[in-house]
Amino acid sequence: MRKAFFEGTHRTRHPAETWAALRPLLPSYGITRVADVTGLDDLGIPVTMAVRPLARTLSVAQGKGATLDAARVSGALEAVEAWHAERAVPPPVERAPAEVLRLPYPVTALETHPGSLLTTRTVMDWIAARSAVDGATVPVPAASVRLGREVHDRWRLHLPSPSTNGLASGNTTAEAVTHALYEVIERDAVSDLTTAPQGCPVRIDPGSVTEPHCAALIDRIRAARAWLELWHLPSRFGVPVVSCYLWREDHSALLVSGSGAHLDPHVALSRAVTEAAQSRLTAITGSREDIHPATYRETGHRGPRSAQEPGADWGQTAARFATGFADDEREAAHLAARIADVTGAHPLVVDLTHGPYRTGVFSVVKVIAPHLRYDARHVIPRPRLETAA
């Protein structure tokens, strides 16, 4: 299906159409409210929160977008995604250790917490996934997909580390897979900032951004007298990845951040900026259960140290990337092939809107990408200014 909406993102339907179709379904997923919280800050970038009181994970999800409808869809679908990861994981097809399954990837290359005891001899439940490259059926641990805490009567050792990384939705399955692939690529690049980057991050001069949508976002932030910093991050997959950092003296202890990845560098930049604005409003609303108390401590008005030089020209940086696709099917295939070429393992897709969970309105998938990292779970490390010298 060809893309039809291009303002800050690529979608096959206009957000207003998606919202009209999605809104009547929200009670089915325990969503009691999708609130517009944009006005609680004065940046003016649309942000929403979707409330799901009986969630097995976080009971509030956030959304952002170029328009209020886009932000509503973003917040509602983030909550819908979590619901499916809690309740719609396919049933196990086998219970066995990895060593007997002849997997096309090492099980130890899956996402785990530091110090994990996962080995090829660990007995786990396995569910069916499909290769995003050739469609082949491949087993993945159910524990890598299922989210949430619930009461149970037997002890379980959670060795793979489930997270929302690679959990995505879309108007179509191909759109969902595309966005999931972008997310695992983005998180891999951001994780590099916790160690030695596979390349040098490039600080961008916000004043050099002339693309209308992105320039308007930056103008809103500057009009609110907030401090803004943009970085283009190296990615081993050749996909533009951007991180954004925001600070304002009304929350002097809070340096918020956002990141985005997309073959269209302007979309990557837009996602980074809107996610940073969303993170700021998340702290302002105080609605999430995982906000650290240090977020609200009182400190002096000391902003981040700014660079002496303005940074690189965004136009020149963006001009290095020219690959684009008119439909998500080809875009997903390109991204999956690129990941497979670099890592030697196919990214794997689990369909969470299968059978009774299929609605025809949206699709939810979980992409598992062996060998890709997700280390920066709560805070995006800020690159050192000297790396841009």
Beta strand pairing call for 94-97 and 123-131: antiparallel
Reduced to 3 states (helix: H, G, I; strand: E, B; else coil), residue 62 is strand
- Tell me, what's the pLDDT at 161? 80
- Tell me, what's the pLDDT at 29? 98
> How sure is the predictor about 381, in pLDDT bands with cuts at 50, 70 and 90?
confident
The mean pLDDT value of the chain amounts to: 91
d(CA 85, CA 57): 10
d(CA 312, CA 357): 47
* Whether pLDDT at 365 is above 50: yes
User: Across residues 342-364, what is the average pLDDT?
Assistant: 97
The answer to whether 142 and 124 have CB atoms below 8 angstroms apart is yes
d(CA 288, CA 373): 25
pLDDT digits (tens, 9 = 90+) for 246-295: 999 888 778 899 999 999 999 999 999 999 999 999 999 988 777 777 77
pLDDT digits (tens, 9 = 90+) for 371-380: 999 986 667 8
- Tell me, what's the pLDDT at 389? 45
Residue listed under structure tokens 């956030």:
62
pLDDT digits (tens, 9 = 90+) for 41-58: 999 999 999 999 999 999
d(CA 339, CA 337): 5
* Whether pLDDT at 386 is above 70: no
Phi then psi dihedrals of residue 183, to 5 deg = -65, -45
User: Across residues 131-144, what is the average pLDDT?
Assistant: 97
Whole-model pTM: value is 0.94
* Whether pLDDT at 388 is above 80: no
Beta strand pairing call for 123-131 and 348-351: antiparallel
The answer to whether 71 and 38 have CB atoms below 8 angstroms apart is yes
The answer to whether 30 and 80 have CB atoms below 8 angstroms apart is no
Reduced to 3 states (helix: H, G, I; strand: E, B; else coil), residue 332 is helix
- Tell me, what's the pLDDT at 376? 64
> How sure is the predictor about 384, in pLDDT bands with cuts at 50, 70 and 90?
confident
Strands (E), 41-179: 47-51, 60-64, 94-97, 123-131, 137-141, 167-170
pLDDT digits (tens, 9 = 90+) for 195-248: 755 678 999 999 999 999 999 999 999 999 999 999 999 999 999 999 999 999
Sequence-separated (6 or more) residues with CB below 8 Å from residue 132:
177, 181, 332, 333, 336, 346, 347, 348, 349, 367
Rounding to the nearest 10 degrees, give the CA dihedral for residues 219, 18, 324, 370: 100
- Tell me, what's the pLDDT at 302? 67
> How sure is the predictor about 3, in pLDDT bands with cuts at 50, 70 and 90?
very high
Residue listed under structure tokens 């930056």:
218
pLDDT digits (tens, 9 = 90+) for 78-116: 999 999 999 999 999 999 999 999 999 999 999 987 778
